[in-house]
Amino acid sequence: MHIALSRIIGRAMAVTLLTAGMSVPGTHIGNAEALLVPTDGYGFSVGGPMTWMSDVDADRELDAAARAGATWIRVLISWDRVEPMPGAFDWGYVDHWINGTRARGMKVLGVIAYTPDWARLPGSDFTAPPADPALFASFASTVAQRYGDRVSNWEIWNEPNVPYFFGYLEDRAAPYTDLLKAAYPAIKSVQPHSTVVVAGMSRADGPDAPPVFINEMYALGAKGSFDALAMHPYVTPTGLPADELNGWSDVERVRQIMVDNGDADKKIWMTEFGAPTSEPSAGGVSQEEQAKQITDVLAKAATSGFSGPAFIYSIRDENTAIRDNDYYNWGALLTSDWQPKFTSNVLRKRS
């Protein structure tokens, strides 16, 4: 997500409501029965920490997600970590997260992203696209072959509409569309009935705004190269009624673009949303407000009529003691020392 660069995933850190005051049904957090979630379920996104977290800690986080009633985990399959040299694969952390998710009765959304240095242009960062989209397509095919008996849903990249997460390229829609067009048939050749999801779009304004990016993708011929689209409807810190930076209203604008382009039958997956509990000066909110924003978005997605699964970012704080940086405080269920947060109790009551 693109709220602050301090929430960069991976190696960079070691990875509407249109009318104010309009009520959202099913978001009274004091009444567990009132909570609404999308028909396709909800789960959690963890991001970069997956790639370095110990297996013991990963299992504890997965246990917490299962106790909270989650039915999905979004697993980052970081190409730069898995294939650091051509043909030399290390699947260790991916195996652990996917197998652990499945063992707990949850489903996996695999997000395939990021480029090893051997596959990208010299001097570019790991978030840059590969020099040749065919290289990414080959890796995506390899991923589908390895995990096709356990995973059938694939998100292609993460937040390419903002500069950091697509190598600071000036024109990002075109190379991302090329990447999607290459990956889609490669995955489908292995898993014809899989669901390929356009990367979750970060909330942003101006030329980076999701509706602008998605419009450009359609103009570039992206139609027919995806089965669903993803958005990251963060409404922090001011909440859903305020709709800061069009956190939710851009979801509805993107939906209309899909309808206008003949894709009304395709869903929008909410693959990241949440709020940090850092100090207000660092963009944080209270634990109670965090829970309200999460349940508000869950309910809004549930009543939208077009939402796929929704993924809360994230499970556990990175370091709760560091209060002046939002990066460390995005956990919805647990503090960094494994104490339950308010949202954990809200979701566990529902489950």
Q: How is the chain split into domains, by residue range? A: 5-350
pLDDT attached to residue 69: 96
What mean pLDDT is reported for the chain?
A: 92
Q: Which two tokens stand for residue 223?
A: 């139609």
Average pLDDT estimate for 134-138: 98
Query: Residue 22 pLDDT > 70, yes or no?
Result: no
- Residue 20 predicted with pLDDT over 60: no
> Are the CB atoms for 131 and 65 separated by under 8 Å?
no
For residue 323, the model assigns a pLDDT of: 97
**pLDDT tens figures, 306-321:** 999 999 999 999 999 9
Which pLDDT score is estimated for 8?
A: 42
Closest among 283, 302, 203 to 243, alpha carbons compared: 203
Q: Give the pLDDT band (50/70/90) at residue 349.
A: confident
Q: Is the pLDDT of residue 11 over 60?
A: no
Q: For the residues 257-265, what does the mean pLDDT come to?
A: 98
Whether residue 52 is predicted with pLDDT greater than 60 in this model: the reply is: yes
Q: Which CATH class is domain 5-350?
A: alpha beta
Q: Confidence band (pLDDT; 50, 70, 90) for 35? A: confident
User: What is the pLDDT at residue 9?
Assistant: 40
Locate tokens 């602008």: which residue?
Answer: 212
304 or 8, which is more confident? 304
pLDDT in tens, 180-214: 999 999 999 999 999 999 999 999 999 999 999 99
Cis-peptide into 314, omega within 30 deg: yes
4-13, 197-206, 287-296, range with the lowest pLDDT: 4-13
Residue 2: its pLDDT value, please? 44
Query: Mean per-residue pLDDT for 339-351?
Result: 89
Q: What is the mean pLDDT of residues 127-144?
A: 98
Task: Render 36-90 in DSSP notation, one character per residue.
Answer: ---TT-EEEE--GGGGT--HHHHHHHHHHHHHTT--EEEEEEEHHHH-SBTTB--
Predicted confidence at residue 112, as pLDDT, reads: 98
Q: Tens of pLDDT along 75-85? A: 999 999 999 99
DSSP assignment string, 293-308: HHHHHHHHHHTTSSEE
Per-residue pLDDT at 24 exceeds 50: no
pLDDT, residue 212, reads: 98
Q: What is the mean pLDDT of residues 153-178?
A: 97
Kindly give the pairing relationship between strand 42-45 and strand 107-113. unpaired
pTM of the model: 0.92
In the predicted model, is pLDDT for residue 345 greater than 60?
Answer: yes
Nearest-angstrom CA–CA distance, 281 and 100: 37
